[in-house]
Structure formats: structure tokens, C-alpha cells
Structure 1
């Protein structure tokens, strides 16, 4: 199994090109199930999760073709065509690998009137039930049955009538599934307390490009008028705001200066505000963000929240960065209850972190030291990389398949801005 080896202490300086967003790509790909015409996605990141989702679409009868993509290119162009669905079942052996697989539920019901989907897997960061997904389908007229680890959903008469979906709490995935089910319903659907993440906006814009009727995009109330059919489209995946924020933390902890080419500042307001509060200089340009850290980092207080609040997917990276702050920071995780599994690994590198319930106090230390550490989930993996970049000596990060799920060519990008980092195999 591969490991990442980092020799810390180098100041990062230069330009990093930000890839297409993982979380957006995995939401846009199932849109192809809603039409028999091709959907072409540009700026698709080269990630293990994208490949896994492509395999899942193949299982359902869709073809996937990579066009005009050279090995040296970062983004890919993928054309997905689901001319005829050969199956409406998403099997356990694929779905168990990533939670995003549940996002075929809505489009399968919308296109075929039925879906059988295994309960999902993904990172072990806490309890992430899909009850909100199922209640949304029921609110639009689906009949739901749970049996033997599978969800079976059926639209009576072969097509959902539509309805009113009111989420008790904000859920990104449930909002996405509800949207994809609603766009081909017989009637209208209103989604209340919808998630407002940029990836939701990206999904709405892609669906509109395919002929969907959606109003209220970017707000907490979405109104969808169902269409008899959608058509194909060509659409570019938005830049990855989490990747950009991760590299911003890497630049800051090393006292570096890095331009994040392609990053969209308007999608990262909470991250940028937290960086500035921590003493990091952020310059916004047209289609890029420059992050510089010349002086000591300042301690801050952060609490994760749905967009436009501070993203839970940035919590681990900020925790690593704040290990070098001059004072004590307080982080509170409100989204997932088990998202501090990186803390013991950071402690192996000399970090001083105390966790009480959903809050963590991070007391800045004079220096981190390299160690052998183990990745526990995707964003936790990146926190260990960030800490390793600033640590004295060598850091080895194992179980890096987590990183491959969400960061495209990480070693190559960091090496280009001065990091001493490489991937090594056990052999």
C-alpha cells in the first residue's frame, strides 16, 4: 500500500492550479441518468471517487468516454450517455466505497420510476443517515421500502407527482437527490430549507442547461416545475473550494506565498475570513487567490456550519494549520459527531490538542516533528500532509487511498511549489 513521504520545513511558493470540485463532480455525473442524450462534463478531476462513480453508472447501463484528455492535463472531459438504462439497482460492492453513490436514487426514480440502492459507505466520520433523502422522495410521492441493506423506491404509475419537501435540517445530499428527482416529476415541487452550497448552485445550473425549470437558485427555497424529459448538455465542473482552502492552509503553515489559480473567492468567503483572522494575507484576483503568511499565525475560534458558514470539510486542515499559531484556538464541529479522528495522529507529531465533546482546543506549539501517521478519512489525510509540510524531519502518511479520493495529483502540485514530498510503495 502506498505512503506519502514528506521532508518538512520548506516554504511553499509559486502557483497551484485548482482542479474541478470533487463534491460537484459526483453530483453532476448522475444527472446523465435523467436523459437518453449525452452529458459532457469538462474540468472533471482525476480522482478515485470519480472513477468509482463512473463504474456505478456503467453498471446501470450508461457509457462513459474520456475525450481529448492527455496524461499531463489536470482536468478531464467525460461524456456520459445513458441511452437505455439496463438496471435500476446500485449494488453494494460499488456503493460501499463512497457515500455519494446514494445520489443515483433521485435520478433513477425520475427517469425509470424506480430505484434499488444499497445503503452507502464512504468516510467513517460519524453517523450520516439517509433518512432525509428518503423522506424527500416520499414527499414527492415515492413509496419506500428498506430491506437487507437496500433502499427500494417506486413511483406509483412510473412517475413522481411532485410535492413539497421541507427539510428539518439542512442536508446537501438530500437537497441534491430531491432536485434530481423533481426535475422530471409530473407536477411542481417546492424544496424548503434547501442547502445553499456552491455545489448545489452548480447542480441547478447543470440541470437548467439540460432543460430543467428551477427558480430560487442559491436560496433556501427552490421551486421546480417538472419536465417530461431533459436533453443533453455540455457543462464545466466548478473549481474545488475545499482543495483551494487546503492548499491555502499548507501555504500558511509553512510561511509561504501561493497563488491558487482558478479558485473562486465568492465560494470561499468563510474560509477566506478565517484565514485573514488567523493573520494570513489573502489577495483576490480575477480567477485566482493569492495566499501569503509572512508573520506568526494568530489563534482563532471557529465553528462549522452549513454554507455560507465555515465548511466542515475545512475543519481538519485548519486544525493542522493552527497547531503553529501563537496561542490557543477553539474549533467546534457541528455537522458530524466523529470528525476528530486526526487528533491522535497530529498529537504524534507534537500537536497539543484537547477534545471535549464536539469542541477541540488547539494550543499552538513552537514546532512539529515528523512521525509515522495514519490517515483515517479524506480531509483528515490532508491535515496530516499540512502538518508534515511544517514538521521537522520526515513524516510518513499511510492509507493514502483516502487522499486519492479527493485530491488530484497532490504530490505533483505540492512539489511544484517547493515541497519535498513523494509517494512511495511498500515494495
Structure 2
């Protein structure tokens, strides 16, 4: 079992550089099999999800090499077949292989994906879209079988009943090589979707409207890569370090960020009283004094990201009064609450995804468990704030989303140690 040990109370200072976006990476790697030539990515985060995606690629006879943030994927000898259940079960984003395999071969067999337990995340919008493109979908136990007739996939007009990042990305991948025009309406607008569209367009796809609520895709017969695709910075990692700096910093610069991707988040910190200095590609977080309580409601981009409601929770414990978080995306994303209470946090969850956080003058280090990636990030920040030592069990969840977290926090002056994990296998 992987553990992270944090000796709290250390002030943070210096600078930290943000890596490539996890939520882009886990879609871009499956999308790479749509190409007829080798594909190259830069600024790839050294996280466990990348390692698991490489295992899935290997099962399809797709070779990949990863070194120093540079990933090359060679799908030229790809073989279609059932994907390994263990690797699929290890991460939710494995469902992107449904759209990618469907676009490449016109069929896909994928075990129902695993990943973080943050409440129901149905794939009904994915299935609805595949069927509209002409696919036949059958579910048997925990396996999904998707096939097409002799005519293959065809363009269609698809309206999503609910805004879904995963369904938007999956339908882009499935339709990019379909015959005719596909129009996706009421789609998600996250920057990671624009990143995926940029990658595919650079290989010859015809995708218009990414970043808006309507995307038009004219199918093309072949995709070929000619240049390295640099993955956008991870806005969730950036928000996590900005929060840590606001909670325990004496002046921290967070580098390699796109401020426009963080506006809903940074506006809340400014509302609290954090005097951020925002530049073109970096954000300086000064030492903070008195903080005011706020009300946060998560929403699809450009709203406040659900992935940041947990990391910001410990910071709200420093505010003078009661703050409220309302998670409209994943109301059951509350598994950090009981762990923060164990550390002395005055925090409680109510029905409907409502979390109330009162000023908590002193957190005490203790043994806690990371239930998933962002809950683990909240515990890391709380551990930095707490008196004494915090031991975070099941910290492998954290390593799925945060590369080199020990090194980055140590360089800022924190006392952090990762135990019982084969770090060389995670990093080049």
C-alpha cells in the first residue's frame, strides 16, 4: 500500500511548474490509435494513469515509449481485440477506447471502466451517441460490445441530454472518421476537449466548434501525425498548488498555467482575500492574512470545476465564518469530509451535495485514507496545514493525478515522503 507522510506546519516558498493536463492526456492517448502513423506527445505527466494506458496499448500491439515528458505511440501494427480487464478497471478514462476503437475499426469490446468512486457516472450519453452514428451496442455483465454494419459509421445530429465531458470526447473520436457530417449539440466546453480537437485537426481531422456548445465534425478517411502535440497545462494541478500556497505559503509562483482556464477558481480565491498576481502564464500567490468565507457552486466549464471543490476545502477552514460548497456535478463527492473531520476540521456534508465548512483554527495530523484523486489532494493540503504528522493511506490514488508530488512539494519547503511505491516505474 502506498502512503504519503507529511510533517505539517512548514511554510511554502519558491516556485512550482505545472505539468500536462491529466484529463487531456487520458483522452489523447486513446485517440492516438486513430492515426495511421506514429504519434508524439510532449509535456505528458508521469502519473499512474499513463502507465496503465500504456499497458492497454500494449495489449493491442501498439508500442509506446515514455521518457522525460515525451511519449511516442506507434499504432501502425494495431490489432483489434478485447482489452485487458485489470488495466481497464484501474481507471475511468479507459472508456475513451470505446470511441477510439469504434472510429478505427468500427467495433469495440471494452470492460466497463473503473476509476474513482465519486458516485454514479453513467455512460448512457456515450451509448446514445454511438447508436446515432449507426453502431449496435450490447451489454453483457460488465462488458460492452459495440459493432457496426457493413456501411460503417455515418454522420448524425446528436443532442446530449446532459452536458458530459466523457461523452463529448468519445463521440468526437467515434465520428472523426465516420462518413458525412456529425453535429454534436449541448456538449461540454472544457479546455481538454479543445486540446483533443486540436490534436486531431493537426492530423487532418475536420472538427469545428470545440470550446462551444455545438461541435461539427466532417469525417475524413485517414489521420496522419506530422508534429509533436504539446498537452495543455493541468488546470486542476495548478488549482491544487495555488490552494496549498494560499493556505501555507510565504510567496509561491505557480508556473506553466493558462489563467483563462482557472478564472472561476481564482475569482473565488480573490473573493476570499487572496491577493493573486496573475500573469500571462504564471500566478503568484503571496502570503495570506484574513480570509473571508465564500459560497462555491460547481458547474461545467467555465464554471467552478468539481475536481477543485475537494482541494479547496481545507483552505476554507481558515476563513472567518461558514463557507458552503454545492457540488452539482457529483453530489456524492464527499469522501474527504469524514477524513478532514478526523484531523479536527469543522466540516459536514448535507443532502444534495452540500458541504458546510466552518473556521477550524487547528488541524491535527493523524492517519487518513485517500478515497480518490482529489479527496487525496485535499488531505495533502490539510496535512501541510496540520500540526504533527499526517499519514495518508491509499495514496496511489493521488499518484494517478499528481506527478512528482513529493519532489514538487519538497522543493517548496514542505516535508513530504512517499512510501512503498516504485517511483522509478512512474517517472522516466
Shorter chain as normaliser: what TM range?
over 0.9
Per-residue CA distance 1:356-412 (angstroms, 9 max, x = gap) = 111011001111111111111100001000011111111111111001100001011
Gap regions ≥5 residues in structure 2:
422-428
Per the alignment, residue 423 of structure 1 pairs with 418
Per the alignment, residue 38 of structure 2 pairs with 38
Aligned residues: 419
Per the alignment, residue 221 of structure 2 pairs with 228
2:162 alignment partner, SS class: coil
Offset of 1:255 from its aligned partner?
A: 4.2
Per-residue CA distance 1:206-256 (angstroms, 9 max, x = gap) = 010110001112100000000011112420111100000000110111143
2:260 counterpart of 1:257 = no
Alpha-carbon contact 2:253-2:282 (below 8 Å) kept: yes
Per the alignment, residue 78 of structure 1 pairs with 71
Output the aligned Cα RMSD: 1.2
1:268 alignment partner, SS class: helix
Per the alignment, residue 7 of structure 2 pairs with 7
Gap regions ≥5 residues in structure 1:
none
2:123 counterpart of 1:125 = no
Per the alignment, residue 378 of structure 1 pairs with 373
2:367 counterpart of 1:362 = no
1:96 alignment partner, SS class: helix
- Alignment partners' CA distance in 2, 1:62 and 1:164: 32
Alpha-carbon contact 1:110-1:159 (below 8 Å) kept: no
The TM-score, its normalising length taken from structure 1, stands at 0.96
Alpha-carbon contact 1:110-1:182 (below 8 Å) kept: yes
Per-residue CA distance 1:168-199 (angstroms, 9 max, x = gap) = 11000000000011110011100001110000
Alpha-carbon contact 1:162-1:182 (below 8 Å) kept: yes
The TM-score, its normalising length taken from structure 2, stands at 0.96
Alpha-carbon contact 1:127-1:337 (below 8 Å) kept: no
2:232 counterpart of 1:238 = yes
- Alignment partners' CA distance in 1, 2:123 and 2:190: 18
2:58 alignment partner, SS class: helix
Per the alignment, residue 287 of structure 2 pairs with 293
Per-residue CA distance 1:323-361 (angstroms, 9 max, x = gap) = 121110000111113210111100011100121111011
- Alignment partners' CA distance in 2, 1:86 and 1:158: 21
Offset of 1:158 from its aligned partner?
A: 5.6
Per the alignment, residue 335 of structure 1 pairs with 329
2:269 counterpart of 1:279 = no
**Once structures 1 and 2 are overlaid, which stretch shifts more, 46-55 or 251-260?**
251-260
Alignment of 1:18-417 (within 5 A): 18-66=18-66, 69=67, 73=68, 76-157=69-150, 159-233=152-226, 234-357=228-351, 358-417=353-412
2:36 alignment partner, SS class: coil
